[in-house]
Amino acid sequence: MKYGYFDDKNREYVISQPDTPLPWSNYLGNENYFGLISNTAGGYSFYQDARLRRLTRYRYNNVPTDFGGRYIYIRDNKTNEFWSSTWQPTRTELDSYECRHGMGYTQIKSSKNAIESNVTYFVPNGENLEIWKFEIKNISDQVADISLFSFIEFCLWDANDDATNFQRNYNIGEVEIDKNVIYHKTEYRERRNHFAYFACSEDITGFDTQREDFLGRYRGFDKPCVVETGKSTNSVAHGWSPIGSHQINLKLKAEETKTIIFVLGYQENPENEKFEADGQTINKKYCSPIIEKYTTIDDVDKAFSQLNTYWDSLLNIFNVETQNEHVNRSVNIWNAYQNMITFNMSRSASMFESGIGRGMGFRDSTQDLLGFVHMVPERAKERILDIAATQMESGGAYHQYQPLTKRGNDAVGGNFNDDPLWLILAVTAYIKETGDFGILVEDVPFDNKPGSEDTLYNHLERSISYTLERLGPHGLPLIGRADWNDCLNLNCFSDEPGQSFQTTENREGKTAESIFIAGLFCYATNEMASLCDNINEEKIAQKYRALSLKMKEAIENYGWDGDWFLRAYDFFGDKIGSKECEEGQIFIEPQGICIMGNVGKNDGKAEKALTSVKEHLASEHGIVLLHPAYTQYQLRLGEISSYPPGYKENGSVFCHTNPWIMIAEAQMGHADQALDYYLRINPSNREKISEIHRCEPYVYAQTIAGKEAPSFGEAKNSWLTGTAAWNFVAITQWILGIRADYQGLIIDPVLPNDWHSFTIKRKFRDTIYDIDVEKSEIEKTTILIDDQIIDGNKIPIFDDREIVKVKIQVA
Instruction: Render the burial of 108-147: b for 16+ CB within 10 Å, e for the rest.
Output: bbbbbbebbbbbbbbbbeebbbbbbbbbbbbeeeeebbbb
Catalytic residue numbers, as ranges: 486
Ranges within 324-363 binding ligand BGC (CB under 6 A)? 347, 361, 363
3-class DSSP state for residue 228? Answer: helix
Per CB under 6 A, which of residues 262..321 are in contact with ligand BGC? none
Q: Which among 301, 289, 117, 287 has a CA at the least distance from the CA of 193?
A: 287
- Cα–Cα distance list, 610 to 434, 566, 653, 704 (Å): 34, 13, 16, 21
Look at strands 626-627 and 653-654 and give their pairing.
unpaired
Cis peptide before 64 (omega within 30 of 0): yes
Among 162, 364, 433, 708, binds ligand BGC (CB under 6 A): 364
Beta 4-7 vs 81-84: how paired, if at all? unpaired
In three-state secondary structure terms, 442 is: coil
Count, residues near ligand BGC per rule CB under 6 A: 9
Q: Is residue 400 close enough to count as binding ligand BGC by CB under 6 A? A: no
Tell me the residue number closest to ligand BGC, measured at CB. 486
Contact flags string 200-219 toward ligand BGC, x per CB under 6 A: --------------------
Q: Report the nearest approach of ligand BGC to the CB of residue 367 (Å).
A: 8
Q: Which of 726, 734, 739 is nearest to 659 (CA)?
A: 726
Give yes or no for residue 397 binding ligand BGC (CB under 6 A): no
Peptide linkage before 659 cis (omega within 30 of 0): no
Classified as helix, coil or strand, 171 is helix
How near is the Cβ of 479 to ligand BGC at its closest, in Å?
13
Give 265-306 as a 3 state SS string: EEEECCHHHCECCCCCCECCCCHHHHHHHHCCHHHHHHHHHH
Task: Report the residue number, 362 or 571, with the smaller CB distance to ligand BGC.
Answer: 362
Which H/E stretch holds residue 724? helix 723-728
Closest CB to ligand BGC among residues 673, 721: 721
Q: How far is the CB of 500 from ligand BGC (least distance, A)?
A: 14
Largest CA distance in the chain: 84
**β-bridge mates for residue 2, sequence order:** none
Give the interface segment with ligand BGC, choosing from 27-35, 407-415, 478-486, 753-761 (CB under 6 A).
478-486
Alpha carbon separation from 67 to 61, 101, 129, 220, 723 (Å, rounded): 9, 19, 21, 10, 28
Q: Output the CA–CA distances (angstroms, integers) from residue 716 to 100, 699, 701, in the order listed.
A: 22, 11, 6
CB 41 within 8 A of CB 130: no
Write down the least CB distance from residue 137 to ligand BGC, Å.
45
- How near is the Cβ of 269 to ligand BGC at its closest, in Å? 36
Taking the C-alpha atoms of residue 500 and residue 242, their distance in angstroms, rounded to an integer, is 35
Cβ distance 803 to 768 under 8 Å?
yes
Interface of this chain with ligand BGC, residues 138 to 197, rule: CB under 6 A: none
Site string for ligand BGC, 643-662 (x = CB under 6 A): ------x-------------
Indicate which single residue of 484, 571, 643, 677 sits in contact with ligand BGC (rule: CB under 6 A): 484
Contact 419, 522 (CB under 8 A): no
Using CB under 6 A as the binding rule, whether residue 44 contacts ligand BGC is answered as: no
Angle at CA 134, nearest 5°, toward 46 and 240?
Answer: 45
The minimum distance between CB 418 and ligand BGC, in angstroms, equals 8
558 or 726: CB nearest ligand BGC: 726
How crowded is residue 409: how many other Cβ atoms within 10 Å of its Cβ? 16
> What is the rounded distance in angstroms from the CA atom of residue 334 to the CA atom of residue 107?
17
Our finding on whether 725 is near ligand BGC (CB under 6 A) is no
Minimum CB distance to ligand BGC, residue 722 (Å): 6
Using CB under 6 A as the criterion, what x/- string covers residues 573-602 for binding ligand BGC? ------------------------------
Query: Using the rule CB under 6 A, is 626 a contact of ligand BGC?
Result: no
Cis? peptide before 89, omega within 30° of 0? yes
Contact 459, 447 (CB under 8 A): no
d(CA 656, CA 721): 7
Helix (H) or strand (E) holding 690: helix 690-693
Residue 352 or 430 with smaller CB distance to ligand BGC: 352
Which span sits near ligand BGC by CB under 6 A: 35-43, 264-272, 484-492, 576-584? 484-492
**If binding is defined by CB under 6 A, does position 372 make contact with ligand BGC?**
no
Cβ closer to ligand BGC: 221 or 484?
A: 484
Among 487, 595, 735, 745, binds ligand BGC (CB under 6 A): 487
Q: Give the type of residue at 187.
A: E
* Contact code string over 430-469 relative to ligand BGC, x by CB under 6 A: ----------------------------------------
- Does 486 contact ligand BGC by CB under 6 A? yes
Minimum CB separation from ligand BGC for residue 347, in Å?
5
The amino acid at 115: I
CB of 658 to ligand BGC, least distance (A): 13
CA torsion 66→68→70→75, rounded to 10°?
90
- Least distance in Å: CB of 390 to ligand BGC? 15
Q: DSSP 3-state assignment of 226?
A: helix
- Is 412 or 797 the residue whose CB approaches ligand BGC more closely? 412
For ligand BGC, which stretch binds (CB under 6 A), given 266-274, 297-305, 483-491, 671-679?
A: 483-491
Nearer to ligand BGC, 118 or 502 (CB): 502
Least separation in angstroms between residue 484's CB and ligand BGC is: 5
The DSSP code sequence of 540-604 is HHHHHHHHHHHHHHHHHHHSB-SSSB--EE-TTS-EESSTTSSS--EESHHHHHHHHTT-SSSSS
CB of 400 to ligand BGC, least distance (A): 9
**Cβ atoms 372, 741 nearer than 8 A:** no
Stretch that binds ligand BGC, among 405-413, 485-493, 500-508, 685-693 (CB under 6 A): 485-493
Provide the binding-site residues for ligand BGC, judged by CB under 6 A: 347, 361, 363-364, 484-487, 649
